[in-house]
Structure 1
Amino acid sequence: DYYFAVLDAVLERVPELHVHAFSPMEVVNGATRMGISIREWLEEAKRRGLGSIPGTAAEILDDDIRWVLTKGKLPTAQWIEVVTTAHEVGLRSSSTMMYGHVDEPRHWVAHLKLLRELQERTGGFTEFVPLPFVHQLAPIYLAGVARPGSTWEDDRRVHAVARLLLQGAIDHVQLSWVKVGLERGVDLLRGGCDDLGGTLMEETISRMAGSAHGVRKSVEELEAAAGQAGRPVRQRTTLYGEVGALR
């Protein structure tokens, strides 16, 4: 399988690397192409050295909304199956929500409540990352189906409500500076978030949709943003372990 070949090649070259890879959509694709179950695919990926998976492709966990966004490519039940199975075999994941398109606030709350329920069952989510819809070049917006993204008030509410609804279950709420920019990220650090995300080195999805906040930040830029928010800063591992001195 191509995914396993990539995983093998990476770990052969850098065996100490924590590989955080393969979205639920890719897991389903890989399992389908190999003719095995999702559990078997994830177990084999873990055996080969996969460390964790991104909880992307969640969009809004409501099939009416998902049908408009993806035409049913990954139903809610299948997304849940992938992430809960990953947790059961010992692979933790992030969790996400893309909002500001054809959804409403009631969908945000239902999505967050569902994530909390899953976390109380498996304990496998490392963080929650709200992802404002970048509309400028998105086909669904250009076709007149989606609204022009979230408002700034929407963003502040979603991040703050996520902290309240997930408190005691998912400990970390991460902002996406690629989506909102570092300047607004400072405000979000004061209103529910405790994670600025990574420095990155390449990002294509948001950029292709029209985001203009860049694809790379230095450690110094992230430290400065945290300082503006009056928050202490530390580097973490993918699974929120201690790293020590900033690298």
Structure 2
Amino acid sequence: MTPVPTAGAGPLAEALARAATDPAGLTDAEAVALLGASGPELDRLTALADARRATTVGDRLGFVVNRNLHTATALADPDRTRALVAEAHALGATEICVQGPLPAGVGGAELEALVVLVTTAAPVHLHAFRPAEIADAAARDGIAVGDLLGRLRAAGLGSVPGTGALVLDDGVRAALTGPGDPAAPTSAAPTSAAPTSAAAWLATVEAAHRHGLPSTATLVHGHVETPAHVVAHLRALTVLQERTGGFTEFIAMPYTPGLHGPARLARPRDEREVRAVHAVARLLLTGRIDHVQAAWPKLGLPLAEVALRSGADDVGGLLVDGLLDPAAGAEAGRRLSRADVAALADRLGRPPRERSTTYGRHRPA
């Protein structure tokens, strides 16, 4: 997203003035102007967002201790999966995240069995199955998405990842993905059919919320989207949140070639854009989604720190590796330690706070 010129500063100055007093009342045009802020205006914007963060959720730096597993590999070897979950719990993890395209022949019964396996292996919260996987499994079984979600919830599923949202605009989604799964990771796992429209993604997530399964809310930026697309995306999330209250946090992620789409569509990684997107998200989501996460595995820790100074309040999961199979998760080789979080919190001047997946407190950090 190209920064706007500051000469005259009329619309941008007006937008900053409203952001200071009534952030939830920002118009679409004002939000678009803020996304283009640079220089002193960007500093003002991020200061306003950071102040709103402090007012909304306080000064603690949130994090969760978790481990990621691929759906296909978790299904392939139940004994190994049980051992990985038990090891993660022994290392302090309170959350296991499972996501990834479904192998051929896998439907709702296999997902239910996986839920039971994970949640009986250790007392952990299972955060699993993207809208793509849920829709695919339901279609394979010939049942309604809501019926499958009810069964998974009854089996012990705690929440679902709101990934695969990309940008909630069908033209942008088509440009990024073409046919197939809009969020398929670069792995050898088979590709699930997926809800390819923005409406389908929203409907699947709403069904999860209606069945007592909260979710994250995500955005992928840094490709063919415009500031107007980003604002419309945030508006769609707030409309759904007002109906269900099911989003636990918002996560903005930079476009990753191969994971989100072809390399030719990627814009250079831009600190200005990271600051503006997190700041505007914090302001527009005021009163709707309290927590804004800095996606450190996608941003890298230096840019995550930038986001945390621009309205974000949470650093996400530590992604413990363990010894049994450090390459088991989607973010293999990337992890934070408690010491890393403590050092980051010290640089930010905020005390660290270990949280649960749904932002309850487990123990003092």
Alpha carbons of 1:192 and 1:139: their partners in 2 closer, same or farther (altered >3 Å)? Answer: closer
Answer whether contact 1:97 1:129 (CA < 8 A) is retained.
Answer: yes
Alpha carbons of 1:77 and 1:185: their partners in 2 closer, same or farther (altered >3 Å)? Answer: same
User: What amino acid does structure 2 have at the position aligned with 1:201?
Assistant: V
How do 1:81-100 residues align onto structure 2 when only pairs under 5 Å count?
81-100=203-222
User: What amino acid does structure 1 have at the position aligned with 2:112?
Assistant: F
How do 1:1-247 residues align onto structure 2 when only pairs under 5 Å count?
1-14=109-122, 16-71=123-178, 73=180, 74=195, 75-135=197-257, 140-142=261-263, 144=264, 146-201=265-320, 215-246=334-365
Answer whether contact 1:132 1:149 (CA < 8 A) is retained.
Answer: no
Aligned with 1:241: secondary structure? coil
TM-score by length of 2: 0.61
Answer whether contact 2:295 2:316 (CA < 8 A) is retained.
Answer: yes
Distance (Å, rounded) in 1 between the aligned partners of 2:298 and 2:214: 24
Distance (Å, rounded) in 1 between the aligned partners of 2:259 and 2:291: 29
Distance (Å, rounded) in 2 between the aligned partners of 1:57 and 1:139: 9
Measured after TM superposition, the shift of residue 134 of structure 1 is 2.3
User: What stretches of structure 1 of length at least 5 have no aligned partner?
Assistant: 208-213
Measured after TM superposition, the shift of residue 17 of structure 1 is 1.6
Q: CA deviation digits over 1:28-82, x for unaligned, max 9? A: 0111111110000000000100000010000000000111122254211111111
User: What amino acid does structure 1 have at the position aligned with 2:153?
Assistant: K
Answer whether contact 2:177 2:260 (CA < 8 A) is retained.
Answer: no
Measured after TM superposition, the shift of residue 11 of structure 1 is 2.0
Answer whether contact 1:160 1:192 (CA < 8 A) is retained.
Answer: yes
The answer for the alignment partner of 2:27 in structure 1 is none
User: What amino acid does structure 1 have at the position aligned with 2:279?
Assistant: A
Measured after TM superposition, the shift of residue 139 of structure 1 is 8.3
Question: Which structure has the greater CA radius of gyration?
Answer: 2
Measured after TM superposition, the shift of residue 25 of structure 1 is 0.3
Q: Indicate the percent of aligned positions where both proteins have the same amino acid.
A: 42
Task: Count the aligned residue pairs.
Answer: 236
Answer whether contact 1:187 1:229 (CA < 8 A) is retained.
Answer: no
Distance (Å, rounded) in 2 between the aligned partners of 1:80 and 1:59: 12
Measured after TM superposition, the shift of residue 2 of structure 1 is 2.4
**Larger RCO, structure (CA 8 Å, separation 6 or more):** 2
Is the deviation greater in 65-74 or in 158-167?
65-74
TM-score by length of 1: 0.89
